[in-house]
Structures are given as structure tokens and as C-alpha cells.
Structure 1
């Protein structure tokens, strides 16, 4: 079992199967985009009070695992 699997789930009935924080409709993608736009973890917890720091950490672990199994496409191609 992955370190994030009890917090990050995917169900085709919720957000079209995109990975979300368990018990919410908050996608991993949304959290990563908000952080990339300058939000802090504390900002996100204030915006979405039903998530916590462990959920945000699970988002990072999930994203790292997905990226570990990806190949970078050659942008020159």
C-alpha cells in the first residue's frame, strides 16, 4: 500500500475518475495548480477547511509516484 493511498483516491463517479483527496471533490490537479500559482499549504487549508497538511503531503507523494513512472517527451520532436 502506498503512503498516499488512504488519502488519495480515484473513482469514476467522482470528478470523472480524476484523483481526489478522499471524501472530497478536491482534485490532486487543483491542489498542485494552486500551489504553483503561489498559494501555501496554509492558504489551501483555509480555503478548504476539510483538508489538512497530511492531505497536501499525500498530494505531493501521489504526484511524485506518477512522475516517477513517466517518460519525458523530447520537446524538439
Structure 2
């Protein structure tokens, strides 16, 4: 499965944010749900237009975006 089959960006939909194809659900929205503690099952139940493969495509897309990123070490807080 290639993420390019399921993740698209269309400037006419959500100002070009990457979305799951056939929906108006952006990659960052789905990631925010998971970051807030939603399980994959909760996401799929709440958004029945999504399939498990769509979630895998979201993860693959983000991984692809992160490959060439450079990071700066942050000081420990606290």
C-alpha cells in the first residue's frame, strides 16, 4: 500500500492541506485525535468513511515527511 493512493492535497479542499482521499479529514486532524488519546477503533467508529488502511496511509505519509528532517536538541525543561 502506498500512501499516495490514499493521501492527497487539493487546493480547493481545506486550502490544500493533505487529506484522506474522498473525505475532508486532514492528516493533521487525524493525528490530533490520536495524540489526544483516541484509539484507532474510536477514530474508525466516529468517522465511518475511514478505513484502517487510511490510518496506515496517514502514518506512512508522516513518516515520509520526516525522513529528511533535521532536528535541534532542546534543553530539558523543569
Where do residues 9-24 of structure 1 align in structure 2 (5 Å cutoff)?
9-24=8-23
Other-structure match for 2:37: 38
Q: Which structure has the greater CA radius of gyration?
A: 2
Other-structure match for 1:62: 61
Unaligned runs of 5+ in 2: none
CA distance in 2, matches of 1:23, 1:73: 36
Unaligned runs of 5+ in 1: none
Other-structure match for 2:50: 51
- Which segments of structure 1 move beyond 2 Å, counting only runs of 4 or more? 73-76
